[in-house]
Amino acid sequence: MTSPPLAERLNRLFAATPNPETGRPYKLREAARMITAGKAADGTDFPPTPIVVGYLSQLTSGQRSGLSLDKALGIAWFFGIDVQELATARHPGRTAAPDTRLTSEPTHPYPASSVFLAHRPAEQVGPNRLGARLRSMRDEHGLTAAEAADAIGVDESVVTGIEDGTAELQPTDLEELLLLYGVNDPYQRELLAAVARGEHDDAWWYDDVSRLPLWLLVNLAVEDGAELLRSYNNDTVPALLQTERYARASRLAVHHPDPAPEQIDLAWRILRRRQERVLDGTLRIWAVVQEHALLDPIGGPDVLLEQLAHLAEAAERPHVALQVNLTRDGRYRPRGGAFSLFGVGQGADAVYVPQLVTDNMITDPLQVAEYRMAHTRLSLSAEPAARTPKVLAEFRRRILDGTR
């Protein structure tokens, strides 16, 4: 049986590309790790491209003919060839244009499945919450334990043992399982690796590791280690300063028209636990809120009036600085939407940016500096914190008078 042209081309590339440390051709596992890390065979760097050894094995054996564009680029960068060589190997006699679509396989965007995971009813799980989480990921991707094991190059008993807690979870196996299940975000992967090492066993959110979206878990972990939270809110009241009725109403608006009572109950339980650090003063808050966010009657006038009264009380606390950016000419309005800056020690910051499907955590120093500057500009544009009680009192009067 003749091997497909793509498999033949890849096998020739592997045979002709020795590992400089061993002098022998790269093993598939070595290549997969280097492509994932963004390291070419000649030592140069390129954009990291997540890939598992099982994927390379299926390509080189001819079991897989579909080659997605991102993985084609990663493999091409690794070998130092033009990506069109892989395209023409897959389709003999055809020259691939630069924008040719090489993908024929479905994608599995993990953020969407995380929303589903948090939305469904809670399941009873044992202490092996990471194993339960990995099992859920595998189920969401429609893979059997045998298929997952084959993809990462281990025995099926290893995968089932990891999931039920009877087998030790090796760091390399966890890394490849996460890549297989579409967890490409480095902060999410590092968080789960830390959970596997037992570093978060005492975290209050540990019991929910098996069901909360990973982007939310990352946010909770970073927030837990922060001493100062600087935020900008342009559509709602800062979450850590919300009343229960306002919090539930705002989340109901997010899920409209689906009432999603279980999701809303879960969201409030998590938020109430997060707010404990504000109540005990271990987390300092410096929030700048856009005027219209404080006048939007989420939940109705009564809910909003209660929320404004709560904000006025919170603004009197020594560890809370609350400023209102009024809607007037000459006021700074940053591009984008809400964001939070977590001070995690000695000037190091992380930026949390909520999005429609999945939230992002940013730690790149240059980007963090831009957000820090934006918050500084907002603080200069907004009313001084000392005027906040008077501003909130005026807002309450306008709501009561119906003139907002």
Report the distance separating Cα 335 and Cα 337, nearest Å.
7
Overall fold of domain 225-401: Endonuclease; Chain A (3.30.870)
CA-based radius of gyration for the chain: 25
Rounded to the nearest angstrom, the gap between the alpha carbon of residue 364 and the centroid of all alpha carbons in its chain is 15
Residue 108 has a pLDDT of: 31
pLDDT at 179: 87
Q: Which regions of 252-367 does DSSP assign to beta strands (E)?
A: 284-290, 320-325, 339-343, 349-353, 360-362
For the chain, which residues make up each domain, given as ranges?
Answer: 5-90, 110-205, 225-401
The arrangement of secondary structure in 110-205, i.e. its CATH architecture, is Orthogonal Bundle (1.10)
Q: pLDDT value at position 65?
A: 64
Which three-class secondary structure state does DSSP give residue 333? coil
Per-block average pLDDT, block size 10, for the chain (404 residues)? 71 88 88 88 82 85 70 84 61 37 32 37 53 91 90 91 90 90 87 91 89 88 91 95 96 82 89 93 94 94 96 94 90 90 76 84 88 91 94 94 73
* Domains 5-90 and 225-401 in one fold: no
Whole-angstrom distance, CA of residue 107 vs CA of residue 28: 23
Q: What is the pLDDT of residue 89?
A: 53
CATH topology of domain 5-90: 434 Repressor (Amino-terminal Domain) (1.10.260)
